[in-house]
Structure 1
Amino acid sequence: MIGTFWKRAAWICAPALAATLVLAGCQGAGGKGGDDWPNFGRDGAEQHYSPLTQISLKTVDKLKLAWHYDLEPGFTVSAPVEADGKLFVTSGHSMIRAFEADTGKLLWEFDAKTREIAQSSLHMSWGNKGLAYWNGRVIIATTDGRVIGIDANTGKQVWEQRQFELNEIRNSNGAPRVFDGKVIIGHGGADISPIRGYVTAYDAMTGKQLWRFYTVPGDPSKPAANKAEEVMRPTWKGDWFGKGGGGTAWNAFSYDPELNLIYLGVGNGFPYNQQLRSPGGGDNLFLASIVAVNADTGDYVWHYQVCPAEQWDCTAVMDMTLADIKIDGKPRKVLIHAPKNGFLYVLDRRTGQFISAEKFAKVTWAERIDQKTGRPVENPGIRYQGKGMFELWPGPQGAHSWLPQAFSPKTGLVYIPVMEMGAMIGPLPPGATGFSAGMGVTLIGDADLPGSRKSFLKAIDPATQKQAWSAELPGAWPGGVLATAGDLVFQGQIDGQFVARDAETGKVVWSFKTDSPVVAPPISYRVKGKQYVTVLTGSGSQGGGILATGNAAYRTDYRLPRRVLTFAIDGKDSLPKFDMPPLEPPADPGFKPEPAKAMAGAMAFGTNACLVCHGMNAIGGGAAPDLRFSPVILDPEAFRAIVKDGALKPAGMPPSPQLSDAQVESIRYYLRVRAQQVPAELAALKAGTPAASPPKSAPLPGGM
């Protein structure tokens, strides 16, 4: 993801550093003084910071649309990259396009044909979160397990590697990174299977596999393969092998070229219930951990675990920002991490030494992080085994998801998109079955709790852990963040506003109204002396499904325009007029819902993962059609052909042959019930009355 010009020793520091900071921007500037944005976070430091200043507090009032491009319906919550005057975008199911970055002229398209190759909903349900550039190569990882190198000039495939086979319970949707010519990519799947997570490095030019790092131990009956295995094994106890696992690293990676370290953000365990995963206890390394490895060999160097013995889908797969700051008057090389669990961590990135951690959202699972040990001080009763359901903050959605934070070396602040989301969680009832019953829990992931379903942008000084400002945002799904040396912070919103804030105060100083939600992370770059800001519009990915209830008051419709928007000072483009399609559920005269049948259908809808794309409580979040408004739910044959037989697989809807005809009909019945409830819900939302809250979620054994 780093440009042809960018070499390990050729760093360029960001100018105008704040007095409390030293060398905070010197982790690789992304090439040519920040002209390019070839990496997900621009460079290995993952600061999501541009050192460009043409667009600034003084000039932002002249920021206008320079060009736009209409994309196909589908997943578009992804980050573009730019290098050598070309902008590269991934949308839908691995459709890649290259544009002239300054004019928007389409140069080429590449279809990875994921819809044709993928075999299951696991391989098709999330879409791609980004792509990478290195030395004339565009790199993409498809959800069905392929890593592909594409010629950046022609759009022709150069190489392809398969991370995992199609029959494996894995998927890959995170943006790959390229650090010093090495493609770094992980995978997902630990929510539904005790797989053994790993991260793989490939040569960016040839696709040759360079190394692979496993994040949980292998067969304990065999000799330890390496130092990492020796560290992990003692922390898994009892008869666990083959029954417990996880540790998928599907999103966050960072790189320090001076230390020659790559940092891996590792995810949750399976099952969530640790008594089932590791019946003898133990911390279960490297679940919910940051692991530093040698960039050349993949060998273990150090680790820090944010949730020992994790059991709440507590992951460390959120971005790890590298910065050089002063703490107590001394310069420190730090790693800044705001994971799901609601604490903002500052670590010494050379050694993994704990420096500080404080809450940045509502947290009930732990009182604090012990300053001496770096371990959480858990609140009594937070381990759910042997109990009934109880309230948990943050819930499994987390206080911060994959949409990235940003760090400004000028202000010394980290800008975190924060979610306030509570959950109800408890042990699995005897005999419970379903899509994810193996998690070992009963879970209402989006519970109706006071203060829940809110989002914020918070600015925090990592040197002191003090909050500088906080801005409440619309909905429950906050967009990714971009900070710039122009003293601006850019972020999209679920209400369709793309805004710029004063980086010091949080005050909105500019906004642009689109016809769609804007939640993807923006980027900034310079071509022919002119600075641009680009963002993709449209809802989707996680926020399009399991967070849909918190966004019910806003249009996140699958039919809304999905676009590439590029802005510049004195831009001359404008968006065409768009007539918002009406929200009208299909007429279903004579249908009288029966509560028992509706509840059975709701359970089938949830436990078979329909909600991942079509939304919690069947409230569409933009990732796929809102089925409450689909006429297909009135036609049993058409519904069965789509859901079970895959009639719409070419459009991205995978078949579910494992469902019985009775289950399919039960889901259809539930959707007809939800369609009948729409008029009253929309009226309440429009009026802003308490009744506007979505109907209470049914607890799903083992699922969400």
Structure 2
Amino acid sequence: MNERRVRVRALAWFCAPLLAASLALTGCRTGETSGADWPNFGGDGSEQHYSPLKEISLKNVSELKLAWHFDLEPGFSVSPPVVADGKLFITTGHSYIRAFEADTGRLLWEYDAKTREIAQSPLHMSWGNKGIAYWNGRVIVATTDGRVIGLDANNGKPVWEQRQFGLDELRNSNGAPRVFDGKVIIGHGGADISPARGYVTAYDAMTGKQLWRFYTVPGDPSKPATSKAEQIMRPTWKGDWYGKGGGGTAWNAFSYDPELDLIYIGVGNGFPYNQQLRSPGGGDNLFLASIVAVHADTGEYAWHYQVCPAEQWDCTAVMDMTLADLKIGGKTRKVLIQAPKNGFLYVLDRQTGELLSAEPFAKVTWAQRIDLKTGRPVENPGIRYEKTKGMFELWPGPQGAHSWLPQAFSPRSGLVYIPVMEMGALIGPAPPGATGIFGASGATVIADADLPGSRRSFLKAIDPATQKQAWSVELPGDWPGGVLATGGDLVFQGQIDGQFVARDARSGKVVWSFKTDAPVVAPPISYRANGKQYVTVLTGSGSQGGGILATGNAAWRTDYRLPRRVLTFSLDGKDQLPPFEAPALTPPEDPTFRPEAQQMKAGAMAYATSACLVCHGMNAIGGGAAPDLRFSPLIVDQAAFREVVKNGALKPAGMPPSPQLSDEQVESIRYYLRGRAKQAPAEIEAVAGGAVVKGADAGGQPVPGM
């Protein structure tokens, strides 16, 4: 143990009796908070999404009322706030930061990272950022265009700024940064569309100085390996792969154990998806789809565990990693718990990476089981799609059984609460002659396939020590919100139907609900201000569930025009929301247009392969990430549509330009949208005053590479 660490831990012992509530803010080394503040995405380094506060409990949650609210602009609003020093901080859209008084909601300052002005690629403007972090008077922001910024928490002014990748690179950064022991930990995305070499970077939270960088896939094999991680990775990539294959982007999940001095990295998928193209000689392709532990001070490799060796189904391990101490086999073990995309719940020894258990928590067809002796999956035959003759059914599909919306763990109940998606996909090799970014992936995927039992979601409570399910409840739609557990034996979660609910942590029974006028998918948080417990959540749909996976939510009103707000609750709240009536869903007038089947099919493919569906939804069914184009007046104005789509006329509003599209492609997309507008009235029947819709089309078209 180095001298600095001895001094810091001694200081922590001295500070503890007086400053327990502010250890994470003063620089005393800790991975935990008292519950007064919420400085990181998951609360603290354990990523439990658990608040020990219990003023709001099963006994009195029925008295929970709105304390204050703040109206937000349309846009991305699915991130949790952070709280420290009596202030609540949020991020919306493309890194637009606001600070409020945590108890009153009074706006203190605003900061716009101006991503929409700086970004030079549609990738830099996809969705938005999923969170921020706080450390010792700094609010830490990571922009989608590759900047990491430290703001003064008192006034919102930038103190430092670093760029982690160039504007000309096919990378983006929309995951929440974390700050562990004064180190900003941040990764990036981009492996769905390019063989970008993934890495994670640590910066000093106070100065912005880069401290270390850890690469998740190997570099140039012609050069000497300079690290233990490189020596481990290289033999697992085979054939003529360098420059053609890569990936391993760590765009979301990080955890931290201060006692072990380890940071845990959740690593993503490879590119191309087709492993024969990515690594022609085979191999496990480390560290794709892996959990990697590194030493916090140096970024040096400690251990790894791979959930999908030789992954080729967008099988990522970027979901949250919960740290807990569990009694297993009569012995208390320090464990890491992850429910990644592949449908198995993993419990690992977080000191060594040893696999302790792995059992399915959703429908799984890609593997029979996980062999506890080898730690490897026992794959079912026929799921290596390059060896098949066509499309086949895969559960979970590339969207996963659990996405980035976090699970929670309660030390009181011993249960982990997982927002689960039951969604299958059809997947197969890319068709002959496939071109472009998606064709380069070597795969064709119907990610939102219309399969029996698909497009469903659940909240499942599982005992990770025994892998036994305690309870399960089915939720509306297929995009379940993030979860918060509290010391009051409550589990809070938003729903796609516009309800924010609290459940009994041990039974799953709803004990309180609040009608929000909009979907809620953001993870809630809880904190204490002026001696009182509060619960805060942001409303609004977005991310994958508001875009490419929106068809499963089409029975509920989720569109872009529903109110996005900050909602804060307390036991003595006296605020009220103003009356709201959702505007009518009315397609633009286009009386002479008569869609023709072949042109519609061509337009649908252009819409899909141009990635319009990422934000505007499969089959142009918008789910709230961006406007529903079936109801946009722009689609009947050829010149205006071209200016927006190709030339970026609405870039200041968040719509990136696509200059690479030909005029013919743009017109083909517009034709398809006009046809979808004609079909919309027959698909959608408004009920309940326009708050809910039902009967929307649920079909899907094959999308190369998606």
Q: 1:28 to 1:479 in 2, by over 3 A?
A: farther
Q: Which amino acid aligns with 1:557?
A: D
Match for residue 449 of structure 1? 451
Aligned-partner SS, 2:385: coil
Q: Is the 8 A contact 1:435 1:609 kept in 2?
A: no
Is 1:168 aligned with 2:169? yes
Q: Is the 8 A contact 1:627 1:633 kept in 2?
A: yes
Aligned-partner SS, 1:34: coil
Q: Which amino acid aligns with 1:148?
A: I
- Using the TM superposition, give the Cα deviation of residue 508 of structure 1 relative to its aligned residue in structure 2, in angstroms: 0.2
- Using the TM superposition, give the Cα deviation of residue 653 of structure 1 relative to its aligned residue in structure 2, in angstroms: 0.6
Which of 663, 666, 669 is equivalent to 1:667?
A: 669
**Separation of aligned partners in 2, 1:401 and 1:157:** 32
Q: Is the 8 A contact 1:314 1:396 kept in 2?
A: yes
Tell me which moved more, 430-439 or 393-402.
430-439
Is 1:699 aligned with 2:702? yes
Match for residue 26 of structure 2? none
- Using the TM superposition, give the Cα deviation of residue 463 of structure 1 relative to its aligned residue in structure 2, in angstroms: 0.2
* CA offsets 1:56-83 (integer angstroms, 9 cap, x no match): 0011011000000011111011111000
| Counterparts of residues 474-623 of structure 1 (less than 5 Å) | 474-623=476-625
| Counterparts of residues 403-422 of structure 1 (less than 5 Å) | 403-422=405-424
Is 1:679 aligned with 2:643? no
Aligned-partner SS, 2:387: coil
Q: Which amino acid aligns with 2:386?
A: Q
Match for residue 635 of structure 1? 637
Q: 1:30 to 1:574 in 2, by over 3 A?
A: farther
Q: 1:249 to 1:7 in 2, by over 3 A?
A: farther
* CA offsets 1:552-599 (integer angstroms, 9 cap, x no match): 011111011110000000200000111210011112112111111001
Q: Which amino acid aligns with 2:699?
A: K
Which of 386, 401, 404 is equivalent to 2:403?
A: 401
**Separation of aligned partners in 2, 1:112 and 1:260:** 32
Match for residue 242 of structure 1? 243
Q: Is the 8 A contact 1:8 1:257 kept in 2?
A: no
**Separation of aligned partners in 1, 2:330 and 2:186:** 37
Aligned-partner SS, 1:667: helix
Aligned-partner SS, 2:440: helix
| Counterparts of residues 246-257 of structure 1 (less than 5 Å) | 246-257=247-258
**Separation of aligned partners in 1, 2:31 and 2:487:** 13
**Separation of aligned partners in 1, 2:65 and 2:130:** 26
| Counterparts of residues 16-415 of structure 1 (less than 5 Å) | 28=30, 30-31=32-33, 33-387=34-388, 388-415=390-417
Match for residue 655 of structure 2? 653
**Separation of aligned partners in 2, 1:693 and 1:110:** 39
TM-score (norm: length of structure 2): 0.95
Q: Is the 8 A contact 1:548 1:620 kept in 2?
A: yes
Aligned-partner SS, 1:385: helix
**Separation of aligned partners in 2, 1:651 and 1:700:** 27
Q: Which amino acid aligns with 1:263?
A: Y
Q: Is the 8 A contact 2:31 2:258 kept in 1?
A: no
Q: Is the 8 A contact 1:30 1:39 kept in 2?
A: no
- Using the TM superposition, give the Cα deviation of residue 8 of structure 1 relative to its aligned residue in structure 2, in angstroms: 9.0
Q: Is the 8 A contact 1:289 1:307 kept in 2?
A: yes
Aligned-partner SS, 2:652: helix
Q: Is the 8 A contact 1:30 1:37 kept in 2?
A: no
Aligned-partner SS, 2:219: coil
**Separation of aligned partners in 1, 2:81 and 2:705:** 35
Q: Matched residues, percent identical?
A: 81
Match for residue 20 of structure 2? none
Q: Which amino acid aligns with 1:430?
A: P
Q: 1:608 to 1:352 in 2, by over 3 A?
A: same
Q: Is the 8 A contact 1:434 1:702 kept in 2?
A: no
Aligned-partner SS, 1:133: strand
- Using the TM superposition, give the Cα deviation of residue 680 of structure 1 relative to its aligned residue in structure 2, in angstroms: 1.3
**Separation of aligned partners in 1, 2:207 and 2:90:** 22
**Separation of aligned partners in 2, 1:8 and 1:399:** 43
**Separation of aligned partners in 2, 1:28 and 1:498:** 32
- Using the TM superposition, give the Cα deviation of residue 215 of structure 1 relative to its aligned residue in structure 2, in angstroms: 0.1
TM-score (norm: length of structure 1): 0.95
* CA offsets 1:135-181 (integer angstroms, 9 cap, x no match): 00000000000000000001110000000000000000000000000
Q: 1:691 to 1:600 in 2, by over 3 A?
A: farther
**Separation of aligned partners in 2, 1:564 and 1:586:** 32
* CA offsets 1:411-440 (integer angstroms, 9 cap, x no match): 000000000010000011110124411111
Aligned-partner SS, 1:153: coil
- Using the TM superposition, give the Cα deviation of residue 120 of structure 1 relative to its aligned residue in structure 2, in angstroms: 1.3
**Separation of aligned partners in 1, 2:572 and 2:30:** 30
Q: Is the 8 A contact 2:217 2:246 kept in 1?
A: yes
* CA offsets 1:212-266 (integer angstroms, 9 cap, x no match): 0000000000000100000000000000000000000000000000000000000
- Using the TM superposition, give the Cα deviation of residue 537 of structure 1 relative to its aligned residue in structure 2, in angstroms: 0.2
Q: 1:529 to 1:103 in 2, by over 3 A?
A: same
Aligned-partner SS, 2:545: helix
**Separation of aligned partners in 1, 2:397 and 2:593:** 36
Aligned-partner SS, 1:464: coil
Q: Which amino acid aligns with 2:558?
A: T
Q: Is the 8 A contact 2:326 2:334 kept in 1?
A: yes
Q: Is the 8 A contact 1:434 1:608 kept in 2?
A: no
- Using the TM superposition, give the Cα deviation of residue 545 of structure 1 relative to its aligned residue in structure 2, in angstroms: 0.6
Q: Is the 8 A contact 1:30 1:36 kept in 2?
A: no
Q: Is the 8 A contact 2:482 2:522 kept in 1?
A: yes
- Using the TM superposition, give the Cα deviation of residue 328 of structure 1 relative to its aligned residue in structure 2, in angstroms: 1.3
Q: Which amino acid aligns with 1:289?
A: S
Match for residue 439 of structure 1? 441
Q: Is the 8 A contact 1:228 1:300 kept in 2?
A: yes
Once superposed, what is the RMSD of the aligned Cα atoms?
A: 1.7
Q: Is the 8 A contact 1:110 1:155 kept in 2?
A: yes
Gaps of 5+ in 2: 1-7, 18-28
Match for residue 17 of structure 1? none
Q: 1:282 to 1:7 in 2, by over 3 A?
A: farther
Q: Is the 8 A contact 2:290 2:305 kept in 1?
A: yes
